[in-house]
Chains A and B, each alone.
Chain A
Amino acid sequence: MLKITNLKKSFRSPDGGRMPILDVPQFNVAAAEQMVIVGRSGCGKSTLLHLIAGIGRPDSGDINVNGLNISRLSEEGRDRFRAEVMGYVFQTFNLLQAFTAFENVVLGMSFSKGRVDRDRAKELLKRVGLSHRLDAYPRTMSVGEQQRVAVARALANRPKLLLADEPTANVDPANQQSIVDLIRETCQEEEIALVMVTHAMEVAEQFQRVEPLEKLNLVAQARKAHA
């Protein structure tokens, strides 16, 4: 499903030079596989997810998702890829405040080529336990409810790959487990590959495959050695 080869990414440093952040020689995820990436803050976890999502461009290397080399795609191609192949759950939910829960899920479908499936949007919200909150605006919802809406939105377009960037970081402990369960169960039911980034070990321990980014990323290894 996901195959990363020789992926490199650097950012411009304040002195004008380049500061390497990622150097991942090899990283694969199988179809419908669920795995978690752990690592310290600032080690490049979110950058890796952005590159996989096509939000940023790598300096070099290939990212193949579902047979599509997204690092070679045009901006428009990557937009289409995000709309049709991939789902994204953000750490801070990122629901649009002007839209109801139902509309936030529908909005996730609006940018893909397919028709907007309003029944699926309702079905997803029912699955995440919010069938009674369809018309609620984000500001009136608890953080747990907001993250559930965010999960439903990420799944709206039947993605092949779901990226979850610390989805439990802003959720209270009571809701943490239910969010993880919800994501994992839904991905399992719909045979969606899941790459979750977290620094919460109690979450990571529930996954069979746990990859520390320091192990995948040569830049992080070099920094560790240097320190």
Chain B
Amino acid sequence: MSIFQIAWRSVRQRALASGLTSFSMGLGVLLVTAVLLVHGMVSKSFTDIKDLGYNMIAGAKGGKLQLVLNTTFYLSEPVENIPYTFYQEFLTKAEQEKELALMAPEKRGDLKDGTYAKNTEFAIPVCLGDYYQNYRVVGTLPKFFEDFKAGNGTDPRYTFREGRNFKAWDEEHGYYEAVVGYVVAKQTGLKIGDKIAASHGGDPNDVHTDSPFTIVGILDPSGTPNDRAVFINMEGFYLMSGHAKVEENEKVGAEIGGAAVKRRQPLPIKQREVTAVLVRTSDPFSPIIIKNRVNEGNVAQIVMPVMEITSLFELIVTPIQTLLLVITVLICIVSGISILVSIYNSMNDRKREIAVMRALGARRTTVMGIVLTESIILSVGGGILGWMGAHILLACASPTIEAQTGVQIGLFDTAPLPRRLEVIVPAAIIENDWIGPFFSLELLIVPSLILLAVLVGFLPAYTAYRTDVAEALSSSP
């Protein structure tokens, strides 16, 4: 019989005590795994912003973090706007002409290459401030779903589960087409052809019922905050009441043309504002050049989302996670101590059993190994059950977590490695669907449990090692 079989029999003999100590360890590991997994997935969804496809945000001066949270994650209070003309600084003359093709030439003024156009690969404006139910409404251009590319650089970053991208102008729906994120569609039951009206600033008494948008597309899940957003044509956004910057002697929305759907004149440049511009620069040095020039002025500021989110995590989220982790690890240590107490208390009853094994020829180290193995069985056994429990629990709670936070956690998702370690392990391995999950912080759970079991099992094991065989055999059974 192997040491494991002997130890397992001993565990089984004290089934109730063994079960309870293992259960307490299981609970501890469940908490550790849940904290690692939830935090890992949340931080991954925040920090994987390289997938967003842009490296700079231009927005109103003020809080940098607020600008990033508001623009990238659709969190926090909306920020102030910046003039549309600032957005034009990132476009070439040709791009501006294309985007303003529907506008009468006298309304758009003289167009010329923007100051930063040569440093820009693409720039996408977003207008925020409206809501559909609890979801942010993002006024933008169709290129939002065209310019962002997937990791391979060719396929689009965002694909459609149903329908199509909204158009700058459509014969049937005019400027009023919308695309909804996967979670929004799932949670609200919106489908292609439905009409939605945004509310101004989330105020239920201030709904733009005069400008309903028709849903023409539903996005595939992307694992980004865009799953939880409603995208509408920016031209339609401008034409909603209260969205135009008030200018003297300007008449908003004069009708032109006489088609089935009358086309309204787009809002003049002067009356346009954008909340932010998402910019992808053409080379690695441009962000510094643009940032320095823009931030010297008083119109707008440039922020790097990666830097802001990294600072947010390092300053706030990581310490909180560390605190939670320390607490849960302490729970595991307490569970480990309960294993120590359980085995140690049983040692008095088992002195004779150990002495018999020694009399049959078992070495001191063998009986020590049996007790240590018992400790490992209780610790790792409970731990594995706790680990599985955490994954099952989170998988069951996944729809709720996804609805509340937009973070998807599957049964087989594992806590990702900390960013610092991701530098060591090649990205190709981490991103591999088969091998990637094994490069997880959860990999450390079993070795840690074995280490803990050896530490807490050492005292009872040493007691077994030191058992006086002659005395134990002479004592009454």
Interface residues of A (CB under 8 A from B): 46-47, 50, 53, 55-56, 75-76, 79-84, 88, 90, 92, 94, 96-99, 103, 106-108, 110-112, 116, 153, 157
Q: Does chain A have a CB within 8 A of B161? A: no
Hey, which chain A residues are within 8 Å of B363, CB to CB?
Answer: 75-76, 79, 111
- Decide: A90 near B473, CB < 8 A? Known: A97-B13, A98-B13, A116-B1: yes
Contact, CB under 8 Å: A83 / B477:
no
Contact, CB under 8 Å: B1 / A55:
no
The 4 lowest CB-CB distance pairs between A and B, nearest first, are A83-B361, A111-B361, A98-B13, A98-B9
Hey, which chain A residues are within 8 Å of B364, CB to CB?
Answer: 75, 79
- Decide: A82 near B359, CB < 8 A? Known: A75-B364, A94-B477: yes
Hey, which chain A residues are within 8 Å of B252, CB to CB?
Answer: none
Query: Taking CB as reference atom, which chain A residue is nearest B366?
Result: A111
Q: Does chain A have a CB within 8 A of B49? A: no
Hey, which chain B residues are within 8 Å of A83, CB to CB?
Answer: 360-362
**How far apart sit A219 and B358, CA to CA, in the bound complex (Å)?**
29
Q: B2, B12, B362, B470: which contacts A55 (Cβ < 8 A)? A: B470
Hey, which chain A residues are within 8 Å of B362, CB to CB?
Answer: 79, 83, 111
**How far apart sit A94 and B2, CA to CA, in the bound complex (Å)?**
20
Q: Does chain A have a CB within 8 A of B308? A: no
Tell me which residues from 333 to 352 in chain B have a Cβ below 8 Å from any Cβ of chain A.
Answer: 352
Contact, CB under 8 Å: A55 / B358:
yes
- Decide: A96 near B353, CB < 8 A? Known: A55-B359, A111-B361: yes
Contact, CB under 8 Å: B473 / A82:
no
Q: Specify the main secondary structure of chain A where it touches its partner.
A: helix
Query: Taking CB as reference atom, which chain A residue is nearest B1?
Result: A110
**How far apart sit A56 and B363, CA to CA, in the bound complex (Å)?**
14
**How far apart sit A174 and B10, CA to CA, in the bound complex (Å)?**
33
Contact, CB under 8 Å: A94 / B352:
yes
Interface size on B, residues (CB 8 A): 24
Q: A55, A96, A98: which contacts B469 (Cβ < 8 A)? A: A55
Contact, CB under 8 Å: B1 / A103:
yes
Hey, which chain B residues are within 8 Å of A116, CB to CB?
Answer: 1
Q: Does chain A have a CB within 8 A of B6? A: yes
Contact, CB under 8 Å: B360 / A111:
yes
Query: Taking CB as reference atom, which chain A residue is nearest B2?
Result: A110
**A-B residue pair count with CB separations less than 8 angstroms:** 74
Among B358, B361, B363, B366, residue most surrounded by chain A Cβ atoms (within 10 Å): B361
Hey, which chain A residues are within 8 Å of B152, CB to CB?
Answer: none
Contact, CB under 8 Å: A106 / B1:
yes
Query: Taking CB as reference atom, which chain B residue is nearest A75?
Result: B364
Hey, which chain A residues are within 8 Å of B361, CB to CB?
Answer: 79-84, 111-112, 157
Give 29 A-B contacts (CB < 8 Å), ordered by A residue: A50-B473, A53-B359, A55-B470, A55-B473, A75-B364, A79-B361, A79-B362, A82-B361, A83-B361, A83-B362, A90-B356, A92-B477, A94-B352, A94-B359, A96-B356, A96-B357, A97-B13, A98-B9, A98-B12, A103-B1, A107-B1, A107-B6, A110-B1, A110-B2, A111-B360, A111-B363, A111-B366, A153-B360, A157-B361
Q: Does chain A have a CB within 8 A of B474? A: yes
Hey, which chain A residues are within 8 Å of B2, CB to CB?
Answer: 110
**How far apart sit A153 and B9, CA to CA, in the bound complex (Å)?**
18
**How far apart sit A36 and B359, CA to CA, in the bound complex (Å)?**
21
Contact, CB under 8 Å: A108 / B12:
no
Hey, which chain B residues are within 8 Å of A90, CB to CB?
Answer: 356, 359, 473
Interface contacts beyond A80-B361, A90-B473, A96-B353: sample of 11 additional A-B pairs, CB < 8 Å, sorted by A: A47-B470, A55-B473, A79-B358, A82-B359, A84-B361, A94-B477, A96-B9, A103-B1, A110-B1, A111-B366, A112-B361
Tell me which residues from 240 to 255 in chain B have a Cβ below 8 Å from any Cβ of chain A.
Answer: none
Query: Taking CB as reference atom, which chain B residue is nearest A92?
Result: B477
Contact, CB under 8 Å: B6 / A56:
no
Hey, which chain A residues are within 8 Å of B1, CB to CB?
Answer: 103, 106-107, 110, 116
- Decide: A99 near B9, CB < 8 A? Known: A55-B358, A79-B358, A111-B363: yes
- Taking the closest CB of chain A, its distance from the CB of B17, in whole angstroms, is 13
- Taking the closest CB of chain A, its distance from the CB of B101, in whole angstroms, is 85
**How far apart sit A110 and B360, CA to CA, in the bound complex (Å)?**
9
- Taking the closest CB of chain A, its distance from the CB of B84, in whole angstroms, is 81
Tell me which residues from 441 to 477 in chain B have a Cβ below 8 Å from any Cβ of chain A.
Answer: 469-470, 473-474, 477
- Taking the closest CB of chain A, its distance from the CB of B181, in whole angstroms, is 59
Hey, which chain B residues are within 8 Å of A103, CB to CB?
Answer: 1, 9
Hey, which chain A residues are within 8 Å of B13, CB to CB?
Answer: 97-98
Query: Taking CB as reference atom, which chain B residue is nearest A85?
Result: B361
- Taking the closest CB of chain B, its distance from the CB of A171, in whole angstroms, is 15
Among A46, A47, A50, A76, residue most surrounded by chain B Cβ atoms (within 10 Å): A50
